């Protein structure tokens, strides 16, 4: 908009003229959600032929590795570029040192292999954080009640390495320890994985919107205390820019803001400030609200899902992690 051309006023200008028909609305639309914008988070579980509904997330199942190829194949068939893997770990595998996280044959690694076997061309992203494997439920190692930083980063580097060895394309540290992006980049490069990308959960807030996810991965009951000493305070945005700047300096290829919808201002500022590939995580609680209201007959779920995804695009996001990715892709396909 420029001041040198003041717009003609009514009645010469009638804003409704450009909204008159569908073809015209399509023609003047400023942002588009496409299937290329979608990352689909998938929960995996041990065993065979397992399809276990996540109670807190209607429409979402945990899948065993023998079923995951088919589900991811459908997503790929719809054009979804990448999936993100999250494991439901049995309680008896959880320990205070979260050693299952660095087991090269853990559920995440087996799921990556299963996907790469059946759908070799789809992108696979893995979360780096210890909470699914930690008997304390925290993203880092807990010592004397403190979530230690540098000791946790060592374990996170090993976790990233076993995931890369399994075939993961994008390492996504969600733990919010300081210095982990640089350390993980160095560990990957040192092991011949310089082609593996890092999407950092750069501005991740201590949010109440993650509770359904914690149910899905089975970490909610384990969690002692809260995550406020490492995840960000919801009141802050300048701090988000500092977090993002550090992660870029340490080697992040893509950055993420999380949660999504309640933090669109942060998405906007991050994109404006850095011009990096910027992603938003439309988290479990956001999904559960829309889907739940849809199932209760209060909202038209596909409609509000698409409207939500459009909001991310307007705010400057290059892509969105959403549990509604397959629903959105189906919606886009059906036109």
User: 243 is written with which tokens?
Assistant: 């977090």
Q: For the CB of residue 289, give the shortest distance to ligand PBG in the complex, in Å.
A: 12
Tell me the Cα Rg of the chain.
21
User: 19 is written with which tokens?
Assistant: 């909204």
Q: For the CB of residue 192, give the shortest distance to ligand PBG in the complex, in Å.
A: 27
Question: Closer CB to ligand PBG, residue 191 or residue 211?
Answer: 211
Q: For the CB of residue 228, give the shortest distance to ligand PBG in the complex, in Å.
A: 11
What whole-number distance in Å separates Cα of residue 26 and Cα of residue 32?
9
Q: For the CB of residue 127, give the shortest distance to ligand PBG in the complex, in Å.
A: 5
What whole-number distance in Å separates Cα of residue 63 and Cα of residue 293?
25
- Chain residues that interact with ligand PBG, rule: CB under 6 A: 127, 129, 131, 139, 174, 210, 213-214, 227, 283-284
**Among 56, 58, 164, which Cα is nearest to 108's?**
164
Q: Is the backbone of residue 59 left (phi > 0), alpha (psi -120 to 50) or beta?
A: left
- Residues annotated as part of the active site: 204, 258
Residue nearest to ligand PBG (CB): 213
Instruction: Please report the sign of the dihedral spanned by the C-alpha atoms of residue 202, residue 252, residue 285, residue 230.
Output: negative
With beta carbons less than 8 A apart as the criterion, state whether 322 and 328 touch: yes
With beta carbons less than 8 A apart as the criterion, state whether 226 and 303 touch: no
- Secondary structure (3-state) at 147: strand
Residues across the chain: 335
Question: Closer CB to ligand PBG, residue 258 or residue 313?
Answer: 258
Instruction: Please report the sign of the dihedral spanned by the C-alpha atoms of residue 160, residue 161, residue 162, residue 167.
Output: positive
Question: Closer CB to ligand PBG, residue 76 or residue 210?
Answer: 210
Q: For the CB of residue 297, give the shortest distance to ligand PBG in the complex, in Å.
A: 24
What whole-number distance in Å separates Cα of residue 184 and Cα of residue 279?
20
String of b and e for 17-29 (b: at least 16 CB within 10 Å)? eeeeeeeeeeeee
Question: Closer CB to ligand PBG, residue 97 or residue 191?
Answer: 97
């Amino acid at each position: 908009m420029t001041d040198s051309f003041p717009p003609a006023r009514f009645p010469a200008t009638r804003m409704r003229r450009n909204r008159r028909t569908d073809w015209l609305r399509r023609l003047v639309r400023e942002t588009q959600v496409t299937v290329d914008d979608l990352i689909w988070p998938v929960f995996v579980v041990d065993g065979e032929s397992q399809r276990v509904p996540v109670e807190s997330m209607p429409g979402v199942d945990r899948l065993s590795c023998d079923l995951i190829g088919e589900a991811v194949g459908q997503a790929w068939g719809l054009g979804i570029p990448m999936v993100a893997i999250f494991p439901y770990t049995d309680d008896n595998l959880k320990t205070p040192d979260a050693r299952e996280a660095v087991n090269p044959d853990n559920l995440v690694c087996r799921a990556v292999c299963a996907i790469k076997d059946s759908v070799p061309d789809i992108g696979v992203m893995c979360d780096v954080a210890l909470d699914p494997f930690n008997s304390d439920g925290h993203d880092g190692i807990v010592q004397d009640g403190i979530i230690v930083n540098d000791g946790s980063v060592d374990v996170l580097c090993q976790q990233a390495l076993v995931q890369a060895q399994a075939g993961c394309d994008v390492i996504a540290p969600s733990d919010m320890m300081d210095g982990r992006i640089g350390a993980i980049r160095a560990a990957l490069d040192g092991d011949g994985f310089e082609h593996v990308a890092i999407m950092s959960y750069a501005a991740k807030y201590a949010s109440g919107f993650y509770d359904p996810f914690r149910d899905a991965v089975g970490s909610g009951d384990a969690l002692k205390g809260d995550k406020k000493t490492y995840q960000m305070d919801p009141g802050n945005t300048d701090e988000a820019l500092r977090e993002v700047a550090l992660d870029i300096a340490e080697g992040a290829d893509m950055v993420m803001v999380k949660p999504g919808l309640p933090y669109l201002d942060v998405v906007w500022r991050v994109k404006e400030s850095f011009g990096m590939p910027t992603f938003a995580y439309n988290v479990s609680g956001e999904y559960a609200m829309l889907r739940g209201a849809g199932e209760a007959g209060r909202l038209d779920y596909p409609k509000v899902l698409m409207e939500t995804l459009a909001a991310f695009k307007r705010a400057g996001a290059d892509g969105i992690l959403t549990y509604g990715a397959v629903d959105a892709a189906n919606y886009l396909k059906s036109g």
